[in-house]
Amino acid sequence: MTQPYIFAVIPARGDSKGLIQKNTRLLGGLPLIAHTLRAAQTSRLLTRAIVSTDDLRITAVAREHGGEVPFRRPEHLATDTASTLSVVLHALGWLETAEKILPDIVVLLQPTAPLRTAEDIDAALTLLLENKVDSVVSFSPPLADNPYYAYASVRGEFVPLKLVVPGTRRQDLPEPVMRNGAIYAIRRDALISTNNFYGRKMLPYFMPPERGINIDNDLTLALAEFLLGRAAQA
């Protein structure tokens, strides 16, 4: 049986608003993007992983840590309004045009999920390969706050989202899980036909919350630093 060509895209925009230069900020002594590069390089199932960036500093850091940066992302795909989907589709277009390769599976690995491991990537891909589904997406329980009790600001007023009947005991609620942004693995044909990362049928890959943390501000970066240190001591 022919091995599937599994193509991973690591998107890393230079102009991050929430956490300045987030992709090159240090975590555990390494630039943030280096953690995702190491996981991709250690994966048994990924055929290839490339970095898509518009930023020369990120390009240099990625290459220093063994990352492949075969092109510079166009400016119109490096704005606040450019979607991650458009970035991945651009990378696919480059692969087809420049190297005449149509991958079987496309994997999105966001650098903002640095504690995801190579084992997580391979387990998610195995789930996809062994089941008749279009995609596998990673989920984790929330680290702290229970979304069942969330409020929203609506026209200046704070109102409960009413996900549960008021007064329901916490222990009577189903366990919440949330997309953590660590892994999106989808068959190429499904990605192209549905124009999203889920396809028509998706399976979840569950990760523990300490590996599913997503870095978007100083607080989550500090938390990831703590979790990384605790894992190193275990």
Give, in order, the Cα–Cα distances in Å from 170 to each of 130, 160, 161, 175. Answer: 36, 16, 16, 10
Q: What angle do CA 232, 183, 187 make, to 5 degrees?
A: 145
For residue 148, give both structure tokens: 């069942």
pLDDT digits (tens, 9 = 90+) for 73-104: 999 999 989 999 999 999 999 999 999 999 99
CA atoms lying within 13 Å on the CB side of residue 128: 30
All structural domains of the chain: 6-141+177-233 (3.90.550.10), 142-176 (no CATH)
| Secondary structure (3-state) at 10 | strand
Q: Which amino acid is at 40?
A: A
Phi/psi of residue 203, nearest 5 degrees: -115, 145
| Secondary structure (3-state) at 193 | helix
| Segment among 62-66, 73-77, 155-159 with least mean pLDDT | 155-159
Residues 6+ apart with CB under 8 A from 212: 113, 115, 116, 138, 139, 140, 180, 182
pLDDT score of 167 more than 90: no
Across the range 49-75, mean pLDDT stands at: 97
| Secondary structure (3-state) at 93 | helix
CB 138, CB 183: distance < 8 Å: yes
DSSP alpha helices (H): ranges in the chain?
32-42, 56-64, 84-99, 118-129, 188-194, 218-233
Place of tokens 């222990």: 171
pTM above 0.85, yes or no: yes
pLDDT digits (tens, 9 = 90+) for 197-209: 999 999 999 999 9
